[in-house]
């Protein structure tokens, strides 16, 4: 099947198929009559695998690592488990950062509810944001 046909069957943009092919994640043969790249059913299965791995959260570099292990006849499962564990820890850290950020936003909102509105005067655009920036500079100094 042609690039466009593979992309359609996998519900991905044709640019994605081309990019994955360029990176070596997908392989195609060239039709000697017209020079078009042609993909087989194995390429469709590989593309679906890549999509599933991306949905789980694996990067393309990690997916390459997984595919390389499989191509060498080694089970990639231990690597996949380790990568997943790392991803879980990174996600937990991101959640904690987001919780901290949410708390800061909520505290700022509560503080700003007490502040009067101001009109821009050429030196100031919005006193709320400008006073908040001054407060954070004082804290970080």
Domain ranges in the chain are 3-115
Encode pLDDT of 82-126 as tens digits.
999 999 999 999 999 999 999 999 998 998 898 888 888 888 888
Regarding the domain delimited by 3-115, which CATH topology (the fold level of the hierarchy) does it fall under?
Multidrug-efflux Transporter Regulator; Chain: A; Domain 2 (1.10.1660)
Contact call for residues 18 and 27 (beta carbons, < 8 A): no
Encode pLDDT of 27-40 as tens digits.
999 999 999 999 99
In sequence order, which residues have a C-beta less than 8 Å from that of residue 125 and are 6 or more positions away? none
pTM, entire model: 0.71
């Amino acid at each position: 099947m042609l690039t466009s046909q593979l992309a359609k069957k996998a519900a991905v943009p044709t640019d994605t198929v081309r990019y994955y092919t360029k990176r070596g994640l997908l392989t195609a043969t060239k039709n000697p009559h017209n020079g078009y790249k042609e993909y087989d059913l194995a390429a469709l299965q590989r593309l679906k695998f890549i999509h599933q791995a991306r949905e789980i959260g694996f990067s393309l570099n990690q997916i390459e690592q997984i595919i390389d292990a499989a191509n060498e006849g080694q089970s990639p499962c231990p690597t996949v488990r380790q990568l997943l564990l790392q991803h879980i820890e990174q996600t937990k850290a991101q959640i904690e950062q987001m919780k901290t950020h949410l708390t800061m936003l909520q505290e700022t909102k509560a503080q700003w509810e007490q502040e009067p509105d101001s009109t821009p005067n050429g030196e100031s655009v919005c006193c709320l944001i400008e006073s908040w920036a001054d407060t954070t500079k004082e804290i970080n100094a």
